Structure 1
Amino acid sequence: MTTRRALVVRGGWDGHVPVEATDLFIPFLRDHDFEVTVSDSTESYLDLAGVDLVLQCVTMSEITAEQVKGLESAVRSGTGLAGWHGGIVDSFRSNTDYSFITGGQFVSHPGNAVDHRIDIVSDDPIVEGLTAFDLTTEQYYVHADPTNTVLATTTFAAHPDFPWIKGATMPAVWTRGWGEGKVFVCTPGHSVADLETPQIRTIIERGLLWASK
């Protein structure tokens, strides 16, 4: 069997425990015949030759124009990009070129940890066999690209400070194409406990395999 190459890029805000979070999925990738390399710097985006999948978990950090260009070029040529929560949609707030690739940007999580439901809205293989499930964690309010393929959504209750968001439905899991490459995003995943939720873990594992070249 041909071995694929996965690059795990992790860092940024420690509150999203990038090391512990990505360590949950590295054994899964190795079990599926990926050779895994781990990097703590987006400098690695300057040379992605031969990389089939980038798993990124970098929150509230910075990236150079050259690094974004390297990532964009690789994804456009077929390298997959995948991640969850702030590690992919709250990574580089000042770089709109990066947000264009991911198809979404975090803007708020009203109420911090709140009870909410994730609704499955697709029969895509990534969510096949799953039904709606409940979480108590950050519920991401995002600005999202209309060209995304949405696999799961979440609907907001009224918040005392923002009563107008009641009934707003946001994408919670989506995929998108970028040239020859594929991008996978799952917005739940604030903590290790969230990532160990069976439905979330299943969605992410399937998403990693789907995104890979």
Structure 2
Amino acid sequence: MKKALIVSGGWSGHKPKEISEILAAYLRENEFEVEITTSLDTLLDEEKLLELNLIVPNWTMGEITQEQLQSLLNTIKSGVGLAGLHGGMGDAFRNAADYQFMVGGQFVAHPGGDAEEYTVQVDPAHPVTEGMKDFTVKSELYYMHVDPVIDVLAYTNTEQVKMPVAWTKQYGEGRVFYCALGHSINLVERPEMKKMMSQGMAWAAK
């Protein structure tokens, strides 16, 4: 059985406890053994991390120590997968540039707040998005700084730019998957999100 660790905490507005439980349920349906931790010090046990298949950060904003971060970076470089969503992964540890480089992007703004309605256009030719079609959401639209090497799997058209919504990236030997959606519990529980997150987490875990 594959093993996953969800690191849950940070800004309470993103409901880290509830979202972590939803993601854990998706993983368990795919026969993962799941542990949820609410302490970043869990990341200091690199030997334990290297026994995992997947780490799911769900920690909006907050601070991470250099020791905690270095252990996480080493773990993903070695081949453990990384996957997550919204601010829990894409707006975590704003002062940690090495973390942002590993993820492949960083939240900048969401003009219009959580009332923006937009279509997510999906490329179904990847295992993460296989079987998916375009869908419409009414939620925050994350504008992000992104690494040009990311493989964009879903995007939305804005007035200014084609903005990535979901992507993959290689970090050393580790697979990275990120989805910018996920501001509300209702959105994370939508069938489209369940499918993308389930397939994305499974893909990252090899």
Tell me, yes or no, whether TM beats 0.5: yes
Contact 1:109–1:139 (Cα < 8 Å) also in 2: yes
2:138 match: secondary structure = strand
CA distance in 2, matches of 1:86, 1:28: 19
TM-score in terms of structure 2 length: 0.94
> TM-score scaled to structure 1, two decimals?
0.91
C-alpha distance in structure 2 between counterparts of 1:202 and 1:4, whole Å = 19
Give the equivalent residue in structure 2 for 1:36: 34
Mapped partners of 1:63, 1:108: distance in 2: 22
Contact 1:122 1:150 in 2 (8 A): no
Moved more, 115-124 or 141-150: 115-124
After superposition, the Cα gap between the structure-2 partners of 1:65 and 1:153, relative to the gap in structure 1 and judged at 3 Å, is same
Look up the match of 1:71.
72
Structure 2: distance between partners of 1:196 and 1:208: 15
Residue pair 2:122, 2:154 contacting (<8 A) in 1 also: yes
Quick one: structure 1 residues 111 and 127, their matched pair in 2 at CA, closer, same or farther if it must change by over 3 Å? same
Aligned to 1:80: 81
- The Cα shift of 1:122 comes to 4.8
Q: Which amino acid aligns with 2:43?
A: Y
User: Which runs of 5 or more structure 1 residues have no equivalent in the other structure?
Assistant: 157-165
Corresponding pairs, count:
202
Structure-2 residue corresponding to 1:211: 204
Could you tell me how far 1:33 is from its partner in structure 2? 2.5
Cα deviation per residue 1:145-177 (whole Å; 9 max; x = unaligned)? 011110000122xxxxxxxxx231111000011
What corresponds to 1:125 in structure 2? 127
1:38-117 counterparts in 2 under 5 A? 38-47=36-45, 48-113=49-114, 114-117=116-119
Q: What is the alpha-carbon distance in structure 2 between the residues aligned to residue 176 and residue 212 of structure 1?
A: 13
Q: Note the aligned Cα RMSD (angstroms).
A: 1.1
The corresponding residue for 2:181 is: 188
Partner Cα distance (1:133, 1:30) in 2: 25
The alignment partner of 1:143 has SS state of strand
Runs of 4 or more, structure 1, over 6 Å off, are none
Aligned-partner Cα distance in 1 for 2:133–2:178: 18
Distance in 1 of aligned mates of 2:110 and 2:203: 28
> Which of residues 155, 160, 172 is equivalent to 1:179?
172
Q: For the residues of structure 2 that align with 1:38 and 1:200, how far apart are their CA atoms?
A: 20
Q: Which one has a larger percent helix, Structure 1 or Structure 2?
A: 2
- Supply the distance in 1 between the matched residues of 2:95 and 2:33 (Cα, whole angstroms): 32
For 2:70 and 2:78, how far apart are their aligned partners in 1?
12
Distance 1:123 1:41 in 2: 37
Note the alpha carbon deviations across 1:53-79, whole angstroms, 9 max, x for none: 101110011101111110010000111
